[in-house]
Chain A
Amino acid sequence: MSVLQENTLPVRSRTTRPAMRRRFTPTVIVYLALVALLVVGSVLVGLRGEVLLDQGGILNILTRATALGLVAIGQTMVILTGSLDLSVAYLVGLTSLIAAETMAGRNGMVVPGVLLALAVAAGVGLVNGLVITVLKANAFIATLGVALILRGYLEDNYTGPAGDVPRGFQHLGYDRIGPVPVAALLMLAAAALAWWYLSRTRPGYHMYAVGGDIEVARLSGVPTRRVIVTAHVLCSVAAGLTGIYLASRLGSGAPYVGTDAGYDLESIAAVVLGGTLLAGGRGGVVGTIGGVLILATLDTIFDDLEVDPFFKDVVRGVVLVTAVALYARRMVASRARGRLA
């Protein structure tokens, strides 16, 4: 089932490399890289006579990380099961519209708006999951197809922002405790929940099993279809939460809020940057949050340094490929060690 199964294990990988200490897992590397980035960034920004991690800087990083973080948490789950989801970007836009239009400025409609947006998101995830498991379509194509359908719906029905979020609900987007936005805390809570689910519960373990080897998982009695469908529903719900959060920040729903930010490919990049294997079965939410924070910090540093925005994309691309190349080398090294042992 894993869509993107590619060679990570060529025969020539047997060449032994100096054994690295086992505790340097990709997750640890991500956070070390984040710390290094913060130090380097602070120095660079400091040379201009400014401070990177002042109140505004922290707020900036965390705000950037909140939306992408929510999407990436969901994306982590589907990628762990060996799938992926290209429909999240349009789904973010769609759910922001549903939430804002249902609320229509009335305080009493906040809860129904949120619930309806989440229900639609879950429905889209269910469709993704069923197309993949029942129609046996490749996840890449299945979710690309659903993305195109959502896009057609959005383009046909909306030309710009629509709906209206009541003042009270905008607190979700703007309230903060010190320099820390409340929404960022909620995102971290969602990450903690996902971490608990993936590493402490049976269905979570099943996700790793399906992503590792779907045949082995099936023969071991794992309900593989249900696991894949669950992962997709959870991923879409996470995208739905992002849409709701963005609606509360923007004050209305916007059809292209998700695609303008490129949440589909960006979230995959964050997950992979966080050390999760694109082919599935290895990785986790903790690394993903590290990856998201790195991307958000890079953006903030570049803003402070007033770097040309297009240069950011170049750096992002290079960082992504370099990181994955490093992880690949480590895996090759550890497998070579495993063979020797």
Chain B
Amino acid sequence: MTWRPRLAEGTAPVLIVLLLLLIGLAIAGPAYAEPSGYLALLKRAAPLMILAIGQYFVIVSGGFDLSVGALVTAGVVIAARLINGSESATARVILLVLGFGLLVGLVNGLVTTKLLVPSFIVTLGMLLVLDGAIFLWTGGAPRGALSAGFRTFGRGAVDVPLLGEVPWSVLILLAILLAAALFMRGGTGRALVAVGDNEAAVRLSGGQVDRLRLLAFVLSGLLAAIAAILLGGFAGVSAQVGDGLEFRAITAVVLGGVVLGGGRGSVVAAAAGALSLESLFTLLNLLGVSGALESAVQGVIIIAAVAYAALGSGVPQRLRWWPKQRDSARPAQPASS
């Protein structure tokens, strides 16, 4: 009996795309001839990958979280204002930012599950509220500064035996990814996917649908707060740090083969989707494609990825069936009643 790697459904394509992009990077950029280049890539991609993991939980359970971009901005701006350069406040503020993420996730989840408002609307409302509130609080421009201790997580590195210097953010990312993968293999993770697939069935079989969806939003909020800490350290304080990240995270998740509407896809693939997206931007940059066209390429790619997934893992089969007049060959639909 031969051992075959078991990949969750829909994971293979994104891994192939990622591999091709990484090979492309190795060819296009001399910096990618050695591991340090890839570590730098991973460090740059870590916040988006963490956001994608959080977004995955929400999407796979059948929702959307449009508030993560605003939450990242809020996290960075709050941290800068409260730390204000003082090293001693760092630990306290990090806890506060994480708590804020949890709270936002909790509110999103509670309004979605208890007030029955579609999550698209809830998180859109949260986006507006967060954006407005943060700027109201800071008076339009972020003030204060992050401490060096706070920024370590985003840009510092630590010596790891055998590997040498590894950025903190990569270690954090790997820990989160591992935890997420284990979580999704456990009972709660499987139930979460089941909620996205068929909520009524989960409810009827005694699953705690509301609690599971609430959990997804809380995790998304918490991970967005972590991403904010990493991004604040990596990129510094700005009021635009989170702009558009929600759509980028959703794109990454979809690129990873996760189906919008829930019920299908793996968390590792979602993270791989985020890494692919970041690699793609890096590659385009290396190839000298103008930054402006970047978004156009992103647009074409997500449409292609989703179309590929929707038209079937079966593009080859479909081509085989082409001459048979697919539509007329389809068996007549039995009357449903």
* A interface, CB within 8 angstroms of B: 3-8, 10-11, 13, 131, 135-138, 140-142, 144-153, 155-156, 219, 265, 268-269, 272, 278-279, 308, 310-318, 320-321, 324-325, 328-329, 332
Interface centre among B66, B299, B301 (most CB of A within 10 A): B299
Chain B, 195-226, CB within 8 A of any chain A CB: 199-200, 203-204, 209-210
B299 near A145 with CB under 8 A, answer yes
Choose among B136, B293, B333 the residue that contacts A152 (Cβ–Cβ < 8 A): B293
CA distance A8 to B125 in the complex (A): 18
The 15 sampled A-B contact pairs (Cβ below 8 Å) are A137-B306, A144-B247, A145-B300, A145-B306, A151-B299, A152-B292, A152-B298, A219-B336, A279-B118, A313-B132, A314-B132, A314-B136, A315-B132, A321-B117, A328-B116
Chain A residues with CB below 8 A from B299, complex form? 144-152
Chain A residues with CB below 8 A from B303, complex form? 131, 135, 137, 141-142, 145-146
Convert B280-292 into 0s and 1s, putting 1 for each residue whose CB lies closer than 8 angstroms to a CB of A: 0000000000111
Q: In whole Å, how far is A326's beta carbon from the nearest beta carbon of chain B?
A: 9
Chain B, 99-127, CB within 8 A of any chain A CB: 111, 115-122, 124-127
Chain B residues with CB below 8 A from A152, complex form? 292-299
Q: Name the residue of chain B whose CB is nearest to the CB of A13.
A: B116
Q: In whole Å, how far is A26's beta carbon from the nearest beta carbon of chain B?
A: 14
CA distance A141 to B259 in the complex (A): 11
Chain A residues with CB below 8 A from B297, complex form? 152
B296 near A151 with CB under 8 A, answer yes
Chain B residues with CB below 8 A from A268, complex form? 120, 124
Determine if B95 is an interface residue (Cβ-Cβ < 8 Å).
Answer: no
A317 near B292 with CB under 8 A, answer no
A156 near B293 with CB under 8 A, answer yes
A-B contact count (CB 8 A): 172
Q: How many residues of B contact A (CB 8 A)?
A: 58
B307 near A137 with CB under 8 A, answer yes
B128 near A320 with CB under 8 A, answer yes
Chain A residues with CB below 8 A from B254, complex form? 138, 141
Chain A residues with CB below 8 A from B122, complex form? 321
Convert B186-199 into 0s and 1s, putting 1 for each residue whose CB lies closer than 8 angstroms to a CB of A: 00000000000001
B295 near A155 with CB under 8 A, answer yes
Chain B residues with CB below 8 A from A6, complex form? 62-63, 118-120
Determine if B135 is an interface residue (Cβ-Cβ < 8 Å).
Answer: yes
Chain B, 294-337, CB within 8 A of any chain A CB: 294-303, 306-307, 310-311, 333, 336
A138 near B121 with CB under 8 A, answer no
A310-B200 in contact given A141-B260, A324-B118 (Cβ < 8 Å) = no
Q: In whole Å, how far is B148's beta carbon from the nearest beta carbon of chain A?
A: 31
A317-B125 in contact given A10-B203, A137-B307 (Cβ < 8 Å) = yes
A314 near B118 with CB under 8 A, answer no
Choose among A10, A141, A156, A312 the residue that contacts B302 (Cβ–Cβ < 8 A): A141
Choose among B118, B127, B293, B302 the residue that contacts A144 (Cβ–Cβ < 8 A): B302
Determine if B251 is an interface residue (Cβ-Cβ < 8 Å).
Answer: yes
Choose among B129, B295, B302 the residue that contacts A313 (Cβ–Cβ < 8 A): B129
Convert B7-45 into 0s and 1s, putting 1 for each residue whose CB lies closer than 8 angstroms to a CB of A: 000000000000000000000000000000000000000
Task: Add 11 more A-B contacts to A6-B119, A145-B302, A329-B116 (CB < 8 A).
Answer: A6-B62, A135-B303, A135-B311, A136-B307, A142-B306, A152-B295, A314-B133, A316-B128, A317-B126, A325-B111, A325-B115
